[in-house]
């Protein structure tokens, strides 16, 4: 693995044998960290949002299943 910093970006070179799913997970984490560092939301606000989303998803699932 080789990491190189240029003026505008960081380039990470890995062997072609690296599992692409693992690499995607890594890039997703980096993107999450980049986005979340700009957030002004508190952890409690994030937790409430996640809870609301899960509740909404469950309601849709129940409706589709006729429960």
- Residue spans of the chain under pLDDT 50: none
Q: What is the pLDDT of residue 38?
A: 85
Q: State the distance between the two ends of the chain, measured CA to CA, in whole angstroms.
A: 51
Q: What is the pLDDT of residue 28?
A: 92
Provide the number of structural domains found in the chain.
Answer: 2
Domain housing 56: 41-67
Is residue 30 located within the same domain as residue 60? no
Q: What is the pLDDT of residue 6?
A: 96
Q: What is the pLDDT of residue 58?
A: 78
Is residue 1 located within the same domain as residue 32? yes
CB 24 within 8 A of CB 13: no
Taking the model in full, what pTM does it have?
0.54
Is residue 7 located within the same domain as residue 30? yes
Is residue 30 located within the same domain as residue 2? yes
Residue 7 CA to chain centroid, in angstroms?
A: 26
Is residue 2 located within the same domain as residue 31? yes
């Amino acid at each position: 693995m080789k990491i190189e910093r240029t003026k505008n970006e960081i380039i990470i070179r890995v062997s072609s044998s690296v599992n692409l799913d693992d690499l995607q997970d890594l890039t997703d984490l980096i993107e999450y960290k980049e986005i979340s560092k700009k957030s002004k939301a508190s952890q409690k606000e994030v937790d409430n949002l996640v809870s609301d989303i899960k509740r909404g998803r469950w309601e849709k699932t129940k409706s589709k299943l006729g429960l």
